[in-house]
Amino acid sequence: MKILANDGIAQSGIEALESEGFEVLTTTVAQEQLIPYINDNNIVGLLVRSATKVRKDLIDACPDLKLIGRGGVGMDNIDVAYAKEKGLHVINTPAASSESVAELVFAHLFGGVRFLYDANRQMPLEGDSKFKQLKKSYAGGTELRGKTLGVMGFGRIGRATAKIALGVGMKVVYYDPFLEKASVAVTFFDGQSASFEFSSLTKEEVLRTADFLTLHVPAQKEYVIGKEELAIMKDGVGIVNAARGGVVDEVALVEALEKGKVAFSGLDVFESEPQPEIKVLMHPRISLTPHIGAATGEAQDRIGTELAAQIIALLK
């Protein structure tokens, strides 16, 4: 049986599948060529990340397809309900990349409070001629310790982010309409652990309370953070979005940055991805990464082996 990993898969996943007799193809097929490629090559399993779309037309046009897998959490690029109606298995790896995304959130937060997003732009240009001026410009940093992190969405990634925050010494508050209470266990290198109990606040309470806000929600029809929400928040707040493009109103965000309402933002995802708006890309107070939240070697290994295990269980 042939599996097409159209957006790639870790070698660990390939080896696990091949050991069970599957043939794994890692050719990246253009979206418009995907249907004929699947049919011509008798593909039974299609694995994607966020780039490839699996919509009704593809599902209808590929009758031999038995399984669709998403290497990651969100499946908004797959017509999941329709695929299941047609009898296809639809799988993902919700736990495999949580820690990697959480660490990227804190990369943006640590970089934000110490102006690294701008210092790394200016130092190569003027570090030799304006060292003292740059030192003065970036001297008013802020510590994360003792501040409040607001978490929008307290699923696996939200809780993984909370763990780091607790380890840093931050207070954590969250809003999740589907999770009234949650327990978070922070484990340490020597086997010790500490557990923390949380209850969801209202969205407005989190917005008013947070010194920094991080979003961990699926794609939405409307903005989670728009003009109204920004107006509620503290002056000088920092906002990180490593969830999905379109959950933050980027026009309103840029306006809030210009007015000083928002001190900085970290964006790993974008409304018009894969072609983010120039105003966002060029803004001096936005820390930028190109949708790499789950792109660590460790996470990709976990994703590959987890996908392989599910495919073997379902198709063998």
What pLDDT does residue 247 have?
97
- State pLDDT tens for residues 144-201: 999 999 999 999 999 999 999 999 999 999 999 999 999 999 999 999 999 999 999 9
Q: Which residue has the tokens 């701008």?
A: 118
Radius of gyration from C-alpha coordinates of the chain: 21
Which of 156, 216, 283, 291 does the annotation list as catalytic? 291
Is 90 exceeded by the pLDDT of residue 75? no
Nearest to 293 by CA among 243, 238, 227: 243
Is 90 exceeded by the pLDDT of residue 50? no
pLDDT band with cut points at 50, 70 and 90 for residue 18: very high
Query: What is the value of pTM for the model shown?
Result: 0.88
* Residue 198 bridge partners (DSSP): 182
Which of 244, 283, 302, 306 does the annotation list as catalytic? 244
What pLDDT does residue 13 have?
96
Annotated active-site residue 291? The verdict is: yes
Q: Is 213 exposed, middle or buried (0-12, 13-18, 19+ CB in 10 A)?
A: buried
121 — phi, psi (to 5°)?
Answer: -85, -40
Q: Is 312 exposed, middle or buried (0-12, 13-18, 19+ CB in 10 A)?
A: middle
Amino acid identity of 222? Answer: E
Q: Which residue has the tokens 């699923």?
A: 155
Which of 205, 273, 277, 285 does the annotation list as catalytic? 273
| Domain annotation for the chain: domains and CATH numbers | 2-94+297-315 (3.40.50.720), 98-288 (3.40.50.720)
